[in-house]
Amino acid sequence: MIVSRLELTDFRNYASASFDLTAGTTAVIGDNGQGKTNLAEALAYLATLSSFRGAPGDALVRVGADQAIIRATVAHDDGRSSLIEAELVTIGRNRVQVNRQKLQRVRDLLGTVRVTVFSPDDLIVVKGGPGDRRRFMDDTLVALATKYDAIRLEIDRIVRQRNTLLKQAQKARGLSDDVAITLDVWDAKFTEIADQFGYARATLVARITPMVQEAYEQLAGVATPVALRYEPEWRRVGLLAALGAARDLDVRRGVSTVGPHRDELDLSINGLPSRTHASQGEQRTLALALRLAGHRLVTERTGSAPVLVLDDVLSELDDGRGTALLGHLPPGQIVITTASELPAAARADRVIRIRAGEVVDDT
């Protein structure tokens, strides 16, 4: 799958711009604040229908405009071609069309385009809280199979419903019979879907761990023990039993304290927690290794490499690790953004220079 052309209208700082991308490596060069990351964000939006920078939808629309358009021409591995158009609005619902046909649900676009983004913000996967690592697992699962997006949304819905009941019980200083019965119903639903998701997460971690290990050693240039551990207690005892044991605590706090929405993915380097004991360089290398491993797994399982976007990553790496990264990039379409000239190891097939949201050179 190759994105051959990307067109932006009123997206971030782009009033109107188009980019012809090569099937190999495209370098996007420009000073800071000119729109390099905005281009990467637009590409990734078509894959996830969200900003990898965590920005709300209305922030993606250029100041003074009512809507933004992201349009991409995609060449699929089977020879088909698709025109994807996403319309983002400041008021109302966003819309998506594929080959001029409106999708009934925006979520139906998931899987049509896959994009792996490496950005300086990826460090949060290692340094941030448990939610950042859960997001890494779940986004990878969605890239593997879109059904996991629906499962994730259903878990969120069940937790919200359960928390509403728990808050009622907290205010009443105890569970009434009616609330307890209703809570039992939600607990049963929660258990059924959480078991599926917990199994999927555990399987993902088992498959990706040796890939992370290999990628880390390639980037670091030295053999280093790296481990990923996903073993929530509720999976050992069963969620229904865990919810029952935690019910009194849940009522006192008014929230659901047990379940996949509270899980942690433990990361370690040399047997020590990477979040607290690893150096900044080690943490950044691990974050990159996680992305590379996820990209590799999605490629192997789906049979098609996602578009690989390196958003200003080289500026965050020392020369040795930057060269190692460029030397071990997987095959497929690659987009590299940078504020400086690329090293020779990048071997760009096309260079696009941008300034203030406009293409000033395309060679």
86 and 72, same structural domain? yes
- pLDDT mean for each 10 residues of the chain (363 residues): 95 96 94 94 92 92 96 92 94 92 84 91 95 96 94 97 96 91 96 97 98 96 96 97 96 96 98 96 95 96 94 88 90 94 85 93 82
154 and 62, same structural domain? no
* Closest to 70 measured CA to CA, from 143, 139, 12, 149: 12
Print the domain residue range for 346: 1-114+307-363
| 87: its two tokens | 């319309």
Return the pLDDT at 155.
97
66 and 10, same structural domain? yes
* Closest to 21 measured CA to CA, from 341, 355, 334: 334
107 and 252, same structural domain? no
Q: Which residues contact 110 (CB under 8 A, 6 or more apart)?
A: 47, 48, 49, 142, 146, 149
Question: How many domains is the chain built from?
Answer: 2
Return the pLDDT at 28.
95
Question: What's the rounded Cα separation, in Å, for the pair 177 and 30?
Answer: 64
> Crossing angle, helix 239-253 and helix 147-171, to 10 degrees?
40
57 and 156, same structural domain? no
Return the pLDDT at 362.
82
Compute the C-alpha angle 135/141/145, nearest 5°: 145
DSSP conformation class of 113: B
279 and 346, same structural domain? no
134 and 106, same structural domain? no
172 and 288, same structural domain? yes
198 and 144, same structural domain? yes
92 and 174, same structural domain? no
Question: What's the rounded Cα separation, in Å, for the pair 199 and 235?
Answer: 9
343 and 299, same structural domain? no
Q: Which CATH number fits the domain that encloses residue 64?
A: 3.40.50.300
| 200: its two tokens | 């999927």
213 and 125, same structural domain? yes
pTM (two decimals): 0.93
| Helix, coil or strand: residue 126 | helix
Return the pLDDT at 249.
96
CB 112 within 8 A of CB 105: no
Identity at 86, one-letter amino acid code: A
CB 359 within 8 A of CB 17: yes
Q: Which CATH number fits the domain that encloses residue 150?
A: 1.20.1050.90
Chain-centre distance for alpha carbon 285: 18
Question: What's the rounded Cα separation, in Å, for the pair 207 and 137?
Answer: 12
